[in-house]
């Protein structure tokens, strides 16, 4: 008589175990890799006490570092948004020879090390650089000054806007824009009244990513800025110097503030995403 | 008319911001001739740095491909409380400044922290050693893999899997023969992106590695040292090599998964 | 207020592909003209070129006395209704309808009045604050129509406006468009692949195929007097008989059917016969009638479709009211009288894109 072997666990119970196991692995990995360090820095920064906090945050070069980061970020966001939308429109909508080349190049700044971006800037604007004579003749300083820091940050951040806007544009198609043109709207009117409204969530998401990236930029600005304290030192450059000079406590404090700002941006991004989902669902 | 204005601006962007910097790096890198280029690359510190960078980037890519794909699968296919939170946490490395990442790892595994002290007693050194660099690279590249694989998973037609199971295939077999082949381009693309990113990582590594020549000095950090040390030509040579690698990786990834694929939430 | 549309020698090339070639026709002021044809016939392209959304490779366009060929979309002031509505998803119904007015800087007060007028016209008066995703397909299309009509265009262009809707909604909207047109009298050009729609709504029909015009005429002419084999096969259902021209008749096997007087003697020809033009008798009562065997009978409500096989193997389909089926049984030998056939030379008989339309082909 053949015996039917009954498994010890029923099919669905076994599946639940597998699911649970996989989920646990995922949570554990993320916990150790991502969450633990966050807890680490919170602990390190907070243990130094309130006095260290006030001392650090009122230091003139720290204040200046924050201000400089703010300025560079603001300029970057504005330029990246405008230029990013233009390039996105061309990549998503226009058909011309070489378009695929532009599309592939869009991702290049993302894949390239920021350090290389800094080297590029030095080779272009530094001593013996291709553009150096032109600027030197007019007394404009690019390298070791804010302009170069802004330029490299823009270079690094534009892809974020483009990558977020292009898929939205492609999914939307041109029919609403065509409808607007039949109703008499000029290209500008169509862009501002129809296109911009339709891409707004993707664009906001791209802007948020750009902001976070600009705040956190270190590799490229380290090379081009010369880290001149009080003049070309951003918040991130300050942190680097703090650890170099064994002022770990101040470093932790400023680092934690940047982490908090970034997480706040991330939360904002999540909110945008949820709003967008809600809009799409109704 | 508006179309040409737009096109012109886009092409100008391409020319000024992409083509020009690329050309200058390659030109200056090879500028002093091929032998100078080879010399620059084979100065003792440089060779070790490049090998170390490539090695660690590869290990990072492999580990995160495995765990990242697993994470993506869990996020897409399973429902559990806290799933949304997990998804948000996965995005944290995208938002946090890389330098802060290094600082966090230093805080957690440094000698002053209980964890670091505990590990130190058992002979495991994380900070100022390669494990620390690896952790930094894993942290920074995790969302890249997850968010590259996720959309591919989302677009999968589950009815094919159902058909396979109706025909008698076990879940594992279904995964191996129906799901995985479809996922493969996404997984490979994610791995390549992670590799490229890890190759060029600076902020997280510089704080955590101690930059010890021959031991924990990576190529990006080496480049900054060369530039700040007044050797732009040598820096350009190493940068060209790194750049060439990244460029090729971008092309391959674009072929596998073209831009326009919206990243999943 | 409404103007005629005239198109002359219109051609449009996309790379190597000629989507439209040498299209010339006139749509009279106040009429509805249908551009009818299968997919790929170029009809939508013609419409878009007239609207100015695409530029023609050659040809000229007039609306009334003004040439439009070189004017931009905005300057042409046409009303355009898209197949998938293309409503502005982030604007309310009111804002959608008012768009064409606000773009032209019409004062707010007048905008509001016009929107009210149109909402009433399209029977959506309570919907002004709704958003497109809160509307059904039929409602969206009505809003799209209102939006197109708001700036009082000279001409209304509709690109398969009901293509994306359920059959029932399509019927309702078709009737409604008919009424609307009667009331407004705007010259309209309607692109459709649905011949029922064209025949029901249009004053004139332009039948297109592979980029060229096959025939221009009234719905009656298109249906009863097809000028080419394509039109005969595409509009209404028809059986096709293959044969040769002998003495003004199409001869196949031992039989022949008239209507080939205009064709070359001896040439290969095709005869098109409509199912309701086929009389079937249980006995040989009329001379010259063809013998056939009943192969299949399908009853559809009050009529039946009878598939008949001729001695030479070709097949004809007849449609008869059920009370005329006396003696017409499966396998029975019957006699068939083809009252009206249209003959075309064989080289005209291009493959018809919608085989379902040709009921039987030998």
Q: What is the mean pLDDT of residues A199-224?
A: 93
* Residue B259 to residue A118, Cβ atoms within 8 A: no
Smallest Cα distance from A191 to chain C, Å: 12
pLDDT score of C286: 64
Surface-to-core class of residue A58, CB atoms within 10 Å of its CB (0-12 exposed, 13-18 middle, 19+ buried): exposed
Judgement on whether residues A27 and A151 belong to the same structural domain of the protein? no
Q: What percent of chain A has pLDDT above 70?
A: 94
Judgement on whether residues A36 and A101 belong to the same structural domain of the protein? no
Per CB-CB distance under 8 Å, the chain C contacts of A176 are 86-89
Per CB-CB distance under 8 Å, the chain A contacts of C14 are none
Please answer whether residues C218 and C188 qualify as being in contact, where contact means their C-beta atoms are separated by less than 8 angstroms.
no
Judgement on whether residues C217 and C247 belong to the same structural domain of the protein? no
Asked if A touches B (at least 3 Cβ pairs < 8 angstroms), the answer reads yes
Judgement on whether residues C157 and C87 belong to the same structural domain of the protein? yes
- The bridge status of strand C315-321 relative to strand C303-309 is antiparallel
Which tens digit of pLDDT belongs to each residue from C213-254? 999 999 999 998 888 888 988 888 888 888 888 887 888 777
pLDDT score of B76: 92
Q: What is the mean pLDDT of residues A227-256?
A: 88
Judgement on whether residues C212 and C101 belong to the same structural domain of the protein? yes
Which tens digit of pLDDT belongs to each residue from A80-109? 999 999 989 988 887 777 777 777 778 778
Judgement on whether residues A22 and A127 belong to the same structural domain of the protein? no
Q: Is residue A99 part of a domain?
A: yes
* CB atoms closer than 10 angstroms to residue A96: 11
Counted domains in chain A: 2
Q: Is residue C231 part of a domain?
A: no
Q: Is residue C232 part of a domain?
A: no
Smallest Cα distance from B93 to chain A, Å: 8
Q: Is residue C42 part of a domain?
A: yes
Q: Which of residues 83-142 of A touch B (CB under 8 A)?
A: 83, 86-87, 89-92, 94, 96, 98, 101-124, 126, 128-130
A13 part of contact set with chain B, CB < 8 Å:
no
Please answer whether residues C144 and C87 qualify as being in contact, where contact means their C-beta atoms are separated by less than 8 angstroms.
yes
The CATH number covering residue A251 comes to 1.10.3720.10
Judgement on whether residues A38 and A120 belong to the same structural domain of the protein? no
For residues C282 and C21, give the distance between their C-alpha atoms in angstroms, rounded to a whole number: 50
Judgement on whether residues C145 and C260 belong to the same structural domain of the protein? no
Q: Is residue A3 part of a domain?
A: no
Supply the range of the domain harboring residue A190: 60-281
Judgement on whether residues A21 and A148 belong to the same structural domain of the protein? no
Per CB-CB distance under 8 Å, the chain C contacts of A186 are 74
Q: Is residue A39 part of a domain?
A: yes
In this complex, the residue of B101, B103, B259 whose CB is nearest that of residue A252 is B103
Please answer whether residues B112 and B32 qualify as being in contact, where contact means their C-beta atoms are separated by less than 8 angstroms.
no
Judgement on whether residues C154 and C197 belong to the same structural domain of the protein? yes
ipTM computed for the complex: 0.85
Please answer whether residues A47 and A212 qualify as being in contact, where contact means their C-beta atoms are separated by less than 8 angstroms.
no
Neighbours of chain B (3+ CB pairs under 8 A): A
Judgement on whether residues C32 and C109 belong to the same structural domain of the protein? yes
C130 part of contact set with chain A, CB < 8 Å:
no
A204 part of contact set with chain B, CB < 8 Å:
no
Judgement on whether residues C326 and C178 belong to the same structural domain of the protein? no
Contacts by A263-270 with C-beta closer than 8 Å and gap 24+? A263/B92, A263/B95, A263/B96, A265/A208, A265/A211, A265/A212, A265/B95, A266/A212, A266/B88, A266/B91, A266/B92, A266/B94, A266/B95, A267/B88, A268/A208, A269/A205, A269/A208, A269/A209, A269/B91, A269/B95, A270/B88
Q: Is residue C152 part of a domain?
A: yes
Which tens digit of pLDDT belongs to each residue from C75-111? 998 999 998 889 999 999 999 999 999 999 999 999 9
Smallest Cα distance from A272 to chain B, Å: 11
Per CB-CB distance under 8 Å, the chain A contacts of B109 are 40
With 90 as the cut, is the pLDDT of residue B55 above it? Answer: yes
Judgement on whether residues A31 and A158 belong to the same structural domain of the protein? no
Q: Is residue C57 part of a domain?
A: yes
Q: What is the mean pLDDT of residues C53-70?
A: 92
How does the average pLDDT of chain A come out, rounded? 87
The CATH number covering residue C12 comes to 3.40.50.300
Judgement on whether residues C207 and C340 belong to the same structural domain of the protein? no
CATH code of B34-256, in short, is 1.10.3720.10
Per CB-CB distance under 8 Å, the chain A contacts of B73 are 22
Judgement on whether residues A155 and A212 belong to the same structural domain of the protein? yes
- Best of A168, A182, A194 to mutate (most C CBs within 10 Å, chain C): A182
Neighbours of chain C (3+ CB pairs under 8 A): A
In this complex, the residue of A181, A189, A194 whose CB is nearest that of residue C88 is A194
A79 part of contact set with chain C, CB < 8 Å:
no
* Residue A183 to residue C100, Cβ atoms within 8 A: yes
Q: Is residue A110 part of a domain?
A: yes
Please answer whether residues C226 and C273 qualify as being in contact, where contact means their C-beta atoms are separated by less than 8 angstroms.
no
pLDDT score of B119: 86
In this complex, the residue of B90, B108, B254 whose CB is nearest that of residue A104 is B254
* Residue B6 to residue A215, Cβ atoms within 8 A: no
Judgement on whether residues A42 and A121 belong to the same structural domain of the protein? no
With 70 as the cut, is the pLDDT of residue C349 above it? Answer: no
C288 pLDDT tier (thresholds 50, 70, 90): low
* Helices H / strands E in chain B, number of each: 14, 0
C281 part of contact set with chain A, CB < 8 Å:
no
Strand order in the sheet with C187-192: C78-81, C155-159, C187-192, C32-36, C204-209, C212-217
Judgement on whether residues A78 and A22 belong to the same structural domain of the protein? no
Q: Is residue C229 part of a domain?
A: no
Q: Is residue A4 part of a domain?
A: no
pLDDT score of C249: 81
Q: Is residue C287 part of a domain?
A: yes
Supply the range of the domain harboring residue C347: 237-361
- Best of A7, A18, A20, A26 to mutate (most B CBs within 10 Å, chain B): A26
Q: What is the mean pLDDT of residues C312-329?
A: 86
Which tens digit of pLDDT belongs to each residue from C158-208? 999 998 888 888 888 898 889 888 888 899 999 999 989 999 999 999 999
Q: Where in chain B are the domains?
A: 1-31, 34-256
Q: Which of residues 89-118 of A touch C (CB under 8 A)?
A: none
Judgement on whether residues C241 and C213 belong to the same structural domain of the protein? no
With 80 as the cut, is the pLDDT of residue B84 above it? Answer: yes
* Residue A197 to residue C80, Cβ atoms within 8 A: no
pTM score over 0.90: no
Judgement on whether residues A165 and A79 belong to the same structural domain of the protein? yes
SS3 at position C75: helix
In this complex, the residue of A178, A189, A198 whose CB is nearest that of residue C89 is A198
């Amino acid at each position: 008589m053949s015996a039917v072997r009954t498994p010890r666990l029923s099919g669905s119970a076994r599946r639940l175990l597998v699911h649970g196991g996989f989920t646990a692995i995922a949570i554990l990995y993320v916990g150790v890799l991502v969450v633990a360090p966050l807890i680490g820095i919170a602990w390190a920064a907070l243990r130094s006490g309130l006095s260290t906090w006030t001392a650090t945050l009122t230091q003139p070069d720290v204040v200046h570092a924050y201000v400089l980061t703010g300025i560079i970020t603001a300029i970057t966001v504005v330029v990246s948004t405008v230029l990013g939308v233009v390039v996105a429109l061309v990549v998503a909508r226009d058909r011309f020879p070489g378009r695929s080349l532009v599309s592939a190049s869009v991702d290049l700044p993302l894949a390239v090390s920021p350090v290389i971006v800094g080297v590029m800037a030095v080779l272009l604007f530094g001593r013996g650089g291709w553009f150096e004579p032109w600027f030197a003749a007019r007394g404009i300083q690019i390298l070791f000054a804010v302009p170069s820091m802004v330029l490299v940050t823009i270079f690094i951040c534009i892809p974020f806007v483009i990558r977020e806007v292009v898929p939205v544009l492609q999914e939307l198609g041109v029919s609403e824009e065509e409808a607007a043109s039949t109703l008499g709207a000029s290209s500008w009117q169509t862009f501002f009244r129809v296109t911009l409204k339709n891409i707004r969530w993707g664009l906001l998401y791209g802007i948020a990513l750009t902001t976070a990236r600009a705040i956190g930029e270190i590799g490229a600005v380290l090379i081009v800025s010369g880290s001149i304290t009080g003049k070309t030192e951003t918040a991130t450059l300050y942190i680097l110097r703090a650890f170099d000079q064994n002022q770990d406590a101040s470093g932790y404090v400023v680092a934690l503030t940047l982490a908090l700002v970034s997480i706040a941006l991330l939360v904002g991004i999540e909110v945008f995403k949820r709003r967008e989902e809600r809009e799409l669902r109704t | 008319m508006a179309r040409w204005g737009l096109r012109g601006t886009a092409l100008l962007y391409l020319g000024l911001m992409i083509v020009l910097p690329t050309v200058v790096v390659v030109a200056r890198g090879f500028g002093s001739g091929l032998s100078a280029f080879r010399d620059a690359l084979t100065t003792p510190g440089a060779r070790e740095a490049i090998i170390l960078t490539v090695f660690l980037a590869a290990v990072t890519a492999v580990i995160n491909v495995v765990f990242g794909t697993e994470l993506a699968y869990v996020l897409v296919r399973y429902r559990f409380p806290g799933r949304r939170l997990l998804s948000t946490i996965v995005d944290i490395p995208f938002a946090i400044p890389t330098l802060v990442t290094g600082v966090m790892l230093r805080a957690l595994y440094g000698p002053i922290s209980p964890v670091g002290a505990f590990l130190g007693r058992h002979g495991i050194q994380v900070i100022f050693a390669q494990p620390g660099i690896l952790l930094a690279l894993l942290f920074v590249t995790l969302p890249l893999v997850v968010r590259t694989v996720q959309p591919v998973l989302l677009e999968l037609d589950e009815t094919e899997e159902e058909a396979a199971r109706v025909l008698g295939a076990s879940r594992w077999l279904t995964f191996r023969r129906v799901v995985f082949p479809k996922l493969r381009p996404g997984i490979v693309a994610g791995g390549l992106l992670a590799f490229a990113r890890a190759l060029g990582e600076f902020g997280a590594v510089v704080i955590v590695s101690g930059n010890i020549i021959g031991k924990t000095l990576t190529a990006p950090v080496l480049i900054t040292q060369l530039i700040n040390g007044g050797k732009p030509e040598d820096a350009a040579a190493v940068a060209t090599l790194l750049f060439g690698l990244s460029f090729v990786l971008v092309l391959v990834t674009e072929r596998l998964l073209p831009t326009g694929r919206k990243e999943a939430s | 207020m409404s103007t005629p549309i005239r198109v002359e020698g219109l051609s449009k090339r996309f790379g190597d592909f000629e989507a439209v070639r040498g299209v010339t026709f006139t749509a009279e002021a106040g009429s509805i003209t249908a551009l009818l044809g299968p997919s790929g016939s170029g009809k939508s392209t013609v419409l878009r070129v007239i609207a100015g959304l695409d530029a023609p490779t050659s040809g000229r366009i007039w609306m009334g006395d003004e040439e439009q060929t070189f004017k931009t979309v905005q300057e042409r002031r046409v009303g355009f209704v898209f197949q998938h509505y293309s409503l502005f998803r982030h604007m309310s119904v009111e804002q959608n309808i008012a768009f064409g007015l606000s773009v032209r800087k019409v004062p707010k007060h007048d905008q509001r009045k016009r929107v009210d007028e149109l909402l009433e016209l399209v029977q959506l008066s309570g919907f002004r604050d709704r958003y497109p995703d809160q509307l059904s397909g039929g409602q969206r299309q009505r809003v799209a129509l209102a939006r197109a009509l708001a700036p009082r265009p000279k001409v209304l262009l509709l690109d398969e406006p009901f293509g994306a809707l359920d059959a029932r909604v399509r019927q309702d909207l078709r009737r409604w468009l008919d009424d609307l047109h009667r009331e407004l009298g705007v010259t309209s050009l309607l692109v459709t692949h649905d011949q029922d729609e064209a025949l029901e709504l249009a004053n004139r029909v332009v039948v297109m195929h592979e980029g060229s015009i096959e025939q221009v005429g009234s719905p009656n002419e298109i249906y009863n007097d097809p000028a080419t084999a394509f039109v005969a096969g595409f509009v209404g259902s028809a059986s096709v008989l293959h044969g040769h021209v002998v003495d003004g008749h199409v001869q196949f096997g031992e039989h022949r059917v008239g209507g080939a007087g205009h064709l070359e003697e001896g040439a290969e020809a095709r005869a098109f016969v409509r199912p309701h033009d086929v009389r079937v008798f249980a006995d040989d009562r009329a001379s010259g009638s063809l013998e056939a065997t009943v192969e299949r009978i399908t009853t559809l409500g009050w009529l039946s479709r009878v598939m008949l096989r001729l001695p030479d193997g070709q097949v004809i389909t007849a449609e008869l009211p059920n009370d005329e089926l006396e003696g017409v049984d499966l396998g029975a030998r019957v006699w068939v009288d083809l009252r009206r056939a249209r003959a075309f030379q064989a080289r005209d008989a291009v493959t018809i894109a919608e085989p379902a339309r040709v009921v039987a082909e030998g």
